[in-house]
C-alpha cells in the first residue's frame, strides 16, 4: 500500500515541476502567449474495465487516464511519479470502492482531490465467502435476468465482493452511473454522453446474450479459482465455484486449507483450476499437479493484447471456461 507521506512528497515534486514547465512554455498570464482554450474534463480511473467503458462514454469530450497499468494486480499498487503526474488536474475519479482500490483513491486525492464515483455503490453486491469450499454437488443455476436471489446471502459474515464489473448486466448499470456523473460535470456534452452510453449499453446486452447462450450449452459446470474474482460472472452464467484457493486477496491460505481445497477438487470433480495473469502461477501449478487437473487462467482486469476492450476481456474469459466445461 502507498505510504501517504511518501506519496505526498512525490506529488509535490511532480506538481512543482509541472508548474515550472508551464511557465517556461509561456502559457502563464502576462507571458504574451496564446490565450488558453477551455480544457477538457480530466478523469482518472482505477482499473482497465472501468477505464474502457469511461473512455467510450466520454468520447472526445474528456481526457480519461488509467491508473493501474495493464498486467498489474488491482489489489494494492504503488504508482511511479510519472504516473501520478498524468492525473494532475483531474476533476473526476472512477473507482470500484468496496475496499478494493483505496490506493487509487489516495493517488487521486493527492493529485488534486477530484470527486470520486465508486461504482460498487451503484449495483447490488454479494458478500465475499470466507469459507468458499462447496461440500456437495448442486445443480448449476443461471442468474439470467432474475435478480430475486441476489439477497440470499444478506446477513452473512463477509464484506461485499468488489468484482462487480465481471457481470455485463451490472456493467450496464455502471455505464449509466458513469454517464450521469460525466453529464453532471459537463452538462454541455450531455447528448454526446447519452448517445455513447446507449451504444455501449447495446454492446453489453449483446455480449450478455452471447455468453448466456454459450454457457447454457456447457455440459460441465464446476471449476476452482485461485482468487475469488469470478463470483458475479459465475452467478450469472451458471458456473459453480467448487473452491477458492485464496478467498481474501493477499491472505495466504494455510496448509490445512490447501488440503481441503485439493480434497474438494477431487470430490466435486472440478474441471480445472484457474489462476490469474496478475498473480504468481507457481502455487496454482503445485495444487493442480497434486489434484491432477488442468491449470488455466482467467483475467479479471484485461487491457493487454487480445483483451483491449471490456467485451474482448469477457469473451476471452468465456473462451477459457468453455475449453474445459463444454
pLDDT at 204: 98
CA distance 251 to 200: 36
pLDDT at 247: 73
C-alpha cell at 70: 495493464
Strand partners, 243: 133, 224
User: Could you report how far apart the first and last alpha carbons of the chain are, in Å?
Assistant: 40
- Edge-first strand order for the sheet with 295-297 is 240-246, 222-227, 273-275, 295-297
Segments in the chain below pLDDT 70: 1-38, 74-77, 130-157, 248-250
This prediction has a pTM of: 0.81
- Full set of structural domains in the chain with CATH: 4-18+38-123+169-204 (3.40.50.1980), 148-159+207-325 (3.40.50.1980)
C-alpha cell at 103: 490506493
Neighbours of 323 (CB within 10 A): 12
Grid cell 491432477 — which residue?
292
CA distance 261 to 259: 5
pLDDT at 76: 57
CA distance 32 to 76: 45
User: How far is residue 221 from each of residues 134, 139, 157, 242, measured CA to CA in Å?
Assistant: 13, 9, 26, 9
Amino acid at each position: 500500500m502507498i505510504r501517504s507521506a511518501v506519496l505526498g512528497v512525490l506529488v509535490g515534486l511532480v506538481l512543482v515541476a509541472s508548474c515550472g514547465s508551464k511557465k517556461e512554455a509561456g502559457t502563464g498570464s502576462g507571458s504574451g502567449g496564446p490565450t488558453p482554450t477551455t480544457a477538457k474534463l480530466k478523469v482518472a480511473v482505477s482499473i482497465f474495465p472501468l477505464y474502457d467503458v469511461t473512455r467510450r462514454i466520454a468520447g472526445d469530450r474528456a481526457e480519461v487516464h488509467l491508473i493501474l497499468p495493464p498486467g498489474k494486480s488491482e489489489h494494492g499498487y504503488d504508482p511511479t511519479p510519472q504516473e501520478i503526474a498524468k492525473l494532475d488536474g483531474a476533476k473526476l475519479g472512477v473507482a470500484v470502492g468496496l475496499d478494493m482500490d483505496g490506493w487509487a483513491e489516495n493517488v487521486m486525492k493527492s493529485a488534486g482531490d477530484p470527486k470520486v464515483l465508486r461504482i460498487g455503490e451503484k449495483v447490488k453486491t454479494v458478500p465475499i465467502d470466507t469459507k468458499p469450499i462447496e461440500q456437495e454437488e448442486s445443480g448449476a443455476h443461471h442468474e439470467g435476468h432474475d435478480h430475486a436471489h441476489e439477497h440470499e446471502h444478506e446477513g452473512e459474515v463477509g464484506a461485499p465482493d468488489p468484482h462487480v464489473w465481471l457481470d455485463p448486466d451490472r456493467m450496464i448499470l455502471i455505464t449509466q452511473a458513469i454517464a450521469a456523473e460525466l453529464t453532471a460535470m459537463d452538462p454541455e456534452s450531455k447528448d454526446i454522453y447519452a448517445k455513447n452510453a446507449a451504444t455501449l449499453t447495446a454492446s453489453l446486452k449483446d455480449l450478455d446474450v452471447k455468453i448466456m447462450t454459450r454457457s447454457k450449452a456447457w455440459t460441465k459446470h464446476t471449476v476452482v479459482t485461485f482468487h475469488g474474482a469470478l463470483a458475479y460472472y459465475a452467478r450469472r452464467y451458471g458456473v459453480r465455484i467448487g473452491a477458492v484457493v485464496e478467498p481474501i486477496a493477499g491472505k495466504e491460505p494455510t496448509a490445512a486449507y490447501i488440503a481441503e481445497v485439493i480434497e474438494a477438487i477431487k470430490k466435486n470433480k472440478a474441471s480445472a483450476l484457474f489462476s490469474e495473469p496478475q498473480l504468481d502461477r507457481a502455487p496454482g501449478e503445485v495444487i493442480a499437479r497434486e489434484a491432477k487437473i488442468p491449470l488455466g487462467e482467467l483475467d479479471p482486469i484485461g487491457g493487454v493484447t487480445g483483451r483491449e476492450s471490456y467485451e474482448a476481456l469477457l469473451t476471452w474469459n468465456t473462451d477459457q471456461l468453455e475449453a474445459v466445461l463444454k
